[in-house]
Amino acid sequence: MSKTSQQPNIAIGIDIGGTGIKGGIVDLDTGTLLGERLRIDTPKPATPAAVAEVVAQIVEGLSARPEAPEANSPVGVTFPAIIHRGVARSAANVDKSWIGTDVDGLLTERLGRPVHVMNDADAAGLAEVRYGAGKGVDGTVLVITLGTGIGSALIHNGVLVPNIELGHLEIDSAVAETKASASARERDDLSWDEYAARLQRFFSHVEFLMSPSLFVIGGGISKRADDFLPKISVNTPMITASSKNNAGIVGSALQSLISEQLAE
């Protein structure tokens, strides 16, 4: 089968994280990966130039596969910070040199093909409402990722409102993610009861502010959801993300095509 624009349902997605950079070829009809994902450790220090090199290696590796999309097709990329018009505007858990970096421009130039960068939680959120736990849900779906920080995505009737930074809400004089992220649980050696109490405070407040229809809980710790979700009491249904590992790859691949179509 030739790789032509009649095949716009396949795209490459790359998920830049604090410890690893992962990429995959995504079948956008199903939201699943075609073949294995590729992962390389995040370079240290994770400067823009060093990260761009690793992203290029992954994209080259994926592009060499027979199932790869066209060589000049757009690539979707996630980044764990506020991304406004392609530029990083925060760096809570990444190298500070990213602030003000045109991530879109940097990667577009390095890869020599269109790149669309978005916030990591936004990508996960998009994947969940299109293919996973939030599919077909009316109203506001809040996807909350519990990891090094707390990421959040707000999707209203299927439309993503980007860069909603609920992890940076100040609750009881503290930035929420410094108390209730998965890394805060490890740092403070919390029991599941203690951790659930912190999450309770966070989710009750967010529920009051946003009146969501559904909370979808993602991040690595969502694998242990049975240990803490039943201990949290809110009126909004809470479910775990369907795509435990690849939501960032899938969501960013999807967004790359949406952005490209909007630009046409």
Query: CB-wise, 92 or 99, nearer to ligand BGC?
Result: 92
Picking from 222, 260, 14, 235, the residue whose alpha carbon sits closest to that of residue 118 is 14
Contacts of 191 (CB under 8 A, 6+ apart): none
DSSP 124: H
We find the least distance from the C-beta atom of residue 158 to ligand BGC, in angstroms, to be: 20
- Applying the rule CB under 6 A, the residues between 157 and 186 that interact with ligand BGC are 165, 167-168, 177
We find the least distance from the C-beta atom of residue 177 to ligand BGC, in angstroms, to be: 5
Query: CB-wise, 68 or 160, nearer to ligand BGC?
Result: 160
Report how far residue 42's alpha carbon sits from residue 34's, in angstroms, rounded to the nearest whole number: 23
At 223, which amino acid appears?
A: K
Query: CB-wise, 80 or 86, nearer to ligand BGC?
Result: 80
**Counting contacts by CB under 6 A, is residue 21 touching ligand BGC?**
no
We find the least distance from the C-beta atom of residue 195 to ligand BGC, in angstroms, to be: 17
* Burial of residue 252 (number of CB atoms within 10 Å: 0-12, 13-18, 19+): buried
Per-position x/- string for 69-108, each x denoting binding to ligand BGC as judged by CB under 6 A, each - no binding = -----------xxx-------x-xx---------------
We find the least distance from the C-beta atom of residue 151 to ligand BGC, in angstroms, to be: 3
Size of the site for ligand BGC (CB under 6 A): 17
**Counting contacts by CB under 6 A, is residue 143 touching ligand BGC?**
no
Q: Which residue is nearest to ligand BGC (CB)?
A: 149
**Counting contacts by CB under 6 A, is residue 128 touching ligand BGC?**
no
At 96, which amino acid appears?
A: K
Dihedrals phi, psi of 44, to nearest 5 degrees? -125, 125
**Counting contacts by CB under 6 A, is residue 121 touching ligand BGC?**
yes
**Counting contacts by CB under 6 A, is residue 119 touching ligand BGC?**
yes
| Contact assessment for residue 254 and residue 127, using Cβ atoms and an 8 Å cutoff | yes
Dump strand ranges (E) for 50-127. Answer: 75-79, 83-84, 87-88, 115-119
Q: Which two tokens stand for residue 103?
A: 């991530």
Handedness of CA 211, 233, 220, 191 (dihedral sign): positive
Cβ atoms < 10 Å from Cβ of 173: 5
We find the least distance from the C-beta atom of residue 139 to ligand BGC, in angstroms, to be: 22
> Which spans of this chain sit near ligand BGC (rule: CB under 6 A)?
80-82, 90, 92-93, 119-121, 145, 147, 149, 151, 165, 167-168, 177
